[in-house]
Each structure stands twice: as C-alpha cells, then as structure tokens.
Amino acid sequence: MIDVPSSPPTPRVIALANQKGGVGKTTTTINLGAALAEQKQRVLLIDLDPQGNASTGLGFFQGDRRTTAYDLLTLSAPLERCIAACRQEGLHLVAASADLAGLDTELIDDPQRAQRLGRALGRGHDAAVTRFDYVLLDCPPSLNILTVNAMTAADSVLVPLQCEFFALEGLSQLLATIKRVQQRLNPALAMEGILLTMYDRRNNLSAEVAMDVRENLGRQVYDTIIPRNVRLSEAPSHAAPVLTYDRDSAGALAYRKLAQEVLRRHGAASMAGA
C-alpha cells in the first residue's frame, strides 16, 4: 500500500498587490473574500495597509480594533487573538492599525523582518490558519516591508490593474519585486492572476487597455473583468461588501464571477497535480 503523507490542510494564501494607489486592491480583497465565503469557503482577510480601508469597509473602525495586524507582525499576539468575525458567515478579518506605518523603521535591525507574517501564520502548523480555505492579504500601495512580508507569506500574488492609460506602467517594477522575493525568500511564490478593474464600457480607452493587457500578459489575465460600478464605491460607507449591500448590482455579479473563476482555476490545478 502506498503511504500517502498526511499533510495538514493549509489555506491558499493570496497577496493582493500593486504599488499603484487606487487600483482596486481593497475593493477586490473585500468582495472576492465575500464572494468566496458565499461559495462556502472559509475566508480570512488580513488588512496590511495602515490606511485600514478594508477594516473600515467591513465595519471595523479605529476605536474597535484591539488586536491587529501590527500585533501579528511584531509577534506580540498569536493569529488566533487577532481574528475577528465579520457579519457575513464564513468571513473573518485581521484588522489594520495605523501603527503599521512605522514598521519599516521599527524592524530595520531584524535580518528576518520579511518573514514576520509567514512566521505568524505558521503555515501548516497553526490551527488558527488551517481552519481557513483562503487567506487574502490586502497590501498597501507601496513595495515596502508590508508588501514584501505578504509576498513572502503567500502562495501567490493577485494583481488588480485599473483600465486606464498608464495601466501597464509600474507593472515591470512589481514583477521585478515578485521575482526578487521568489529568488531570495519564497521560491514557491506564483502569479495568481491579473485582474482588470474599473472597466468603463462607454469608454473606448477601457477596451483598448484591456486588449493591450491581454496581448502582453496572456493567460495570466482573468476572463472576468470588474466594471466601474458606483455601488462598489458606496458599499464601504455602509460597512458591507457590495454582495450584501446591493446583491444584484453589476459589481456584485462581477465579483461572484471572479470567485467562480478563482475556484475553477484551483480546481483545475489540483486535478492536474493529482
């Protein structure tokens, strides 16, 4: 009989990164997370941005945040204590703290500062993390130590790209950072996918940019495109994902479709590896 090694169930950890500001990282973290939870996946979102937009967007305001991603990265609290349940079933959050902004200098003397999040998640060993199917890491608009920690702890990187004229500009810098992390810190880091966001179908430029991105990046680009949709920008002020704020809006439908595509890609990958 073949002895199959019993590897503990570990979640898929995905970093949502792009050093460009305002491209849809946080909107995608919240709504892809909510859409995966709707599909009965157990989802943990970790807000690594000192701006804390994912936290506020889910109704966790500065004053309510006790144990945060800052405690996680300074190794002063275990993951279990940092997790809070969101209103939606299956969705959990580690909130951000403004203190994260000082972490770059605080950790300057630690030669292993890039591995902090990976250690805190204790991949495969920490019971707190193994109860999730997906962990989504919302990165700040920078390639700083927070983003590098996310890429070091992650299985893959999902890159939201806004459908605008300069969409591809800056992407080479991001891809170079991913490569450096692969070479020095996390050889298994993969590209999860590139997501076109804020697509405006009344604007020819959006269609041209989408075509250009697909020509350059091929199959890495998701079939699903996120349209520009006002409901997506309103939802955070109602402390809810768009999927509950306006469940039939174009934004909600697009993120549901994206979740299905993500699940399908993983299903296909695990079948190919079987």
Positions touching Mg ion (CB under 5 A) are: 25-26, 53
Shorter beta-carbon distance to ligand ATP: residue 10 or 50: 50
Question: Between 115 and 154, how does the x/- string for binding to ligand ATP read (CB under 6 A)?
Answer: --------------------------x-------------
Least distance CB 229 / ligand ATP (angstroms): 5
Question: Quick one: what does residue 21 bind among ligand ATP, Mg ion, none, with the CB cut-off 5 to 8 Å set by partner type?
Answer: ligand ATP
Using rule CB under 6 A, residue 166 touches ligand ATP = no
Least distance CB 53 / Mg ion (angstroms): 5
Among positions 7-46, residues that touch ligand ATP (CB under 6 A) are 21-27
Using rule CB under 6 A, residue 203 touches ligand ATP = no
Shorter beta-carbon distance to Mg ion: residue 25 or 256: 25
Indicate the angle between helix axes 25-38 and 250-273, nearest 10 degrees: 70
| Strand pairing class (190-199; 156-162) | parallel
User: In angstroms, what is the C-alpha Rg of the chain?
Assistant: 18
Least distance CB 234 / ligand ATP (angstroms): 8
Shorter beta-carbon distance to ligand ATP: residue 129 or 226: 226
Using rule CB under 6 A, residue 91 touches ligand ATP = no
Among 38, 49, 133, 192, binds ligand ATP (CB under 6 A): 49
> In the complex, which residues of this chain contact ligand ATP (CB under 6 A)?
21-27, 49, 53, 141, 197-198, 226, 228-229, 232-233, 251
